Amino acid sequence: MFFYLCGYLLYSLPSLAKAKKLHAENNAKNDEKIQVVPKKWAAGFLKHSGCTLEVSGLENIPDGPVLFVGNHEGDFDVPVLMAGIPKPFGFISKIEVKKIPIVAGWMEMMNCVFLDRSDRRAAIQSIRDGIKKLKNGHSVLIFPEGTRNRGKELGEFKAGSLRLAKDSKVPIVPFMIQGSADMFENNQNRIKPGTVKLVILPAISAEYYEEAGMEQVANQIKAAINEERDQHVKGA
């Protein structure tokens, strides 16, 4: 996996240069072209790690920009989402990732937003940047728990994280991931082959969440994900 990761990053450098030219046009229509290489990397990463990905509910993803919101089990969530969701999107990511060569460059091309939770002013600006990207037609993904739950009980779904949707008035698309932590974090941080399930839940319209309020919507999303997790546990 180490050689695959390093080799692919070096291999991607010419494509990164082309992606930068497309990104400079600031046109959301280019997102799909820009993310061809990252999505191929994600699919290859899952294949080499022995991950069997089961995806359902893709029909729930509407056209146009959306805010993807879901649970965060572990590090495998990123390639799982990139490989499993055909719509291009950027992540709200911790600021530390920005220090990784080449990876940070690709994330910028994908319209990711780097969040520094230790600096309130910078964090507010990052949220504003995310809102701007949504308004410009780019989809964004956020983990409202703010940290990995390792497949255990879900953490608090912070309603403030949904401000991205509220201020840009885009649909919220919830998702449920199950099994990714068992492939790494729950195996003493060693890669273990397994099955990961990704379920895309019905989208929540701007009209609904503006009437219901973000606190209620955050609780509803968490409850829907918990219910989906329970169903898959029973069906396993």
| CATH number of the domain that residue 152 is part of | 3.40.1130
Classify residue 233 by burial, with Cβ atoms within 10 Å: 0-12, 13-18, 19+.
Answer: exposed
CA distances from 232 to 57, 181, 218 (A): 14, 15, 22
Mean pLDDT of the region 203-214:
94
Q: Are 111 and 38 in contact (CB under 8 A)?
A: no
What residues form DSSP beta bridges with 140? 67, 90
Cα 196 from Cα 180, distance rounded (Å): 6
Residue 17 contacts by C-beta under 8 Å, 6 or more apart in sequence? none
Give tens-digit pLDDT for 79-90. Answer: 999 999 999 999
How is residue 222 written in tokens?
């968490």
Mean pLDDT of the region 108-137:
92
Name which of 13-27, 149-163, 168-182, 212-226 the model is least confident about: 149-163
Residue 74 contacts by C-beta under 8 Å, 6 or more apart in sequence? 148, 150, 151, 180, 181, 183, 184, 185, 186
Q: What is the pLDDT of residue 179?
A: 95
- Count structural domains, the chain: 1
Mean pLDDT of the region 31-36:
97
The pLDDT confidence band at residue 57, using thresholds 50, 70 and 90, is very high
Domain that holds residue 91: 2-235
Q: Dihedral of CA 140/91/117/72: which sign?
A: positive
Cα 153 from Cα 136, distance rounded (Å): 35
Q: What is the pLDDT of residue 147?
A: 73
Q: Are 98 and 104 in contact (CB under 8 A)?
A: yes
Q: What is the pLDDT of residue 169?
A: 96
The separation between CA 99 and the C-alpha centre of its own chain, rounded to angstroms, equals 19
Cα 64 from Cα 168, distance rounded (Å): 12
Give tens-digit pLDDT for 149-166. Answer: 787 889 888 888 899 999
Q: Is pLDDT at 52 greater than 90 in this prediction?
A: yes
